Amino acid sequence: MTAFPLPPGSTIGILGGGQLGRMLAMAAARLGFDCVILTPEIDSPASRVAAHTLVAAYDDRGALAELARRSQVITFEFENVPAAVVAELSRLGAEVAPPTRALAVSQDRLEEKSFLNSAGIGTVGFARVDSEADLKAAFQRFGPPLLLKTRQGGYDGKGQIWVEKADQSAAAFDALGRRPCIAETPAAFKREVAVIAARGRDGEIALYPLTESHHENGILRRTSAPAQGTPKLFADAEKIAATLLSALGYVGVLGLELFDLNDGRLLVNEFAPRVHNTGHWTLDGCEVDQFEQHIRAVAGWPLGPTAAHHHVEMTNLLGDEALTWAKLAREPETRIWLYGKRAPQPGRKMGHVNRLSPLQDGRG
């Protein structure tokens, strides 16, 4: 049994070697922890800043045993951790946070929306689609158009397709490989917003200021935070985030993506049981950033203050954009985060910049 809070000098295991693992490892190091990364990638962004790396497939039982042996707590930087891996870690008696229930729910869009609704949290209308007939039935129920998404594995706008008419059902279902799907009604949103939310081992909750997010081609392009909004909007967002964290018995940081509707309602699109791209602004805009907050939470430390001290425009550096680092480095209000990825493929997240400006009226 692990005793919490973990003292400095303890080791935190991280499944995944990407930029989120890298920034988690950097935050952990600042608090005196070592990290051991499990990743199939040689020379990963996270491994280059962490104390130890195990290069192996995620389901490599020997590597999982070694990870469990070395780590006092194990966390992850991506939500598609296979269920078999989670089962193996619990068989080994490893302490895993966030809870595996949050992983299971977030891996399946149908489970996720059903869970949210059962917790009293609003989402768009949705229906399970396992066949062309199911999709036609969804058109009967909701009318057009519908957004068809694969239940599992979709990210950055992949695995989803708008279907304008019921007679396009067969073609749409084919286009997504006839995999188990969910059909969603369109969210009439004026903007997309996000909340980074944290819950500690003692049930304490800390929420970051609301963030406005802008996507291009399904990929997060930039965020602006703290976002403008009415007191009711802030209160609604906080209530949704706190309800979700408690319903999941959550420990760690969670990224919650919402639609701010034209009619004033706030609906959850999805959540990720991990640190999140919409929270990168907190690195330079908030007292304690999301990465340190996650480490604090999983290590059983008290959560840190989340208040913003600057307004931040965060922009992802995609592909070749990271090559402009020399120009960016000349901008005094720009903070640069580069992930150390070797190959700048088009659309690949290579880094991000946080552009700072003074807070207005305590909010952005």
Closer of 147 and 247 to ligand AMP (Cβ): 147
Give the nearer residue to ligand AMP in terms of CB position, either 215 or 232. 215
The CB-of-353 to ligand AMP minimum distance in angstroms stands at 21
Task: Determine the residue type at 168.
Answer: Q
Among 42, 34, 37, residue whose Cα is nearest residue 20 = 37
Residue 109 C-beta: closest distance to ligand AMP, Å: 7
Nearer to ligand AMP (CB atom), residue 31 or residue 147: 147
Residue 123 vs 306, nearer CB to ligand AMP: 123
Angle at 98 between CA 46 and CA 294, to 5 degrees: 55
The answer to whether residues 339 and 316 touch, using CB atoms and an 8 Å cutoff, is no
The residues that touch ligand AMP, with contacts defined as CB under 6 A, are: 124, 147, 154, 157, 184, 186-187, 192, 215, 218, 269-270
Sheet containing 181-184: order of strands: 126-129, 181-184, 146-150, 160-163
Shortest spacing between CB 356 and ligand AMP, in angstroms: 25
Q: 83-91 and 61-70 helices cross at what angle (nearest 10)?
A: 50
64 dihedral zone (left: phi>0; alpha: psi -120 to 50; beta): alpha
Q: What are phi and psi of 199, to 5 degrees?
A: -135, 135
The sign of the CA dihedral 104, 27, 53, 336 is: positive
Identify which of residues 155 and 249 has a Cβ nearer to ligand AMP in the complex: 155
Asked if 354 and 314 touch (Cβ cutoff 8 Å), the reply is: yes
Q: What's the min distance (Å) between Cβ of 178 and ligand AMP?
A: 19
Q: Which is nearer to ligand AMP, 220 or 308 (CB)?
A: 220
Instruction: Compare residues 71 and 213 and give the one whose CB is closer to ligand AMP.
Output: 213
Q: How many CB atoms lie within 10 A of CB 323?
A: 11
Q: How far is the CB of 273 from ligand AMP (least distance, A)?
A: 14
Helix and strand numbers, DSSP H then E, in the chain: 11, 17
State in angstroms the smallest separation of the CB of 361 from ligand AMP. 28
- Residue 192's contacts (CB-CB under 8 Å, 6 or more residues apart) are 212, 213, 214, 215, 257, 258, 259, 260, 269
Instruction: Give the end-to-end CA distance of the chain in Å, rounded to a whole number.
Output: 44
Q: Which of 242, 278, 1, 254 is nearest to 103 (CA)?
A: 254
Query: Nearest approach, Cβ of 267 to ligand AMP (angstroms)?
Result: 9
Residue 315 CB, shortest distance to ligand AMP, in Å, is 17
Between residues 77 and 184, which has the closer beta carbon with respect to ligand AMP? 184
**For residues 221 and 331, what is the distance between their CA atoms, to the nearest angstrom?**
20
Q: Which is nearer to ligand AMP, 122 or 344 (CB)?
A: 122
Map residue 202 onto helix, strand or coil.
coil
Nearest approach in angstroms of CB 359 to ligand AMP is 26
Provide the minimum distance between the beta carbon of 206 and ligand AMP in the complex, in angstroms, as a whole number: 24
Of residues 91 and 165, the one with the C-beta less far from ligand AMP = 165
Q: Quick one: DSSP state of residue 179?
A: -
Report phi then psi at 287, rounded to 5. -60, -50
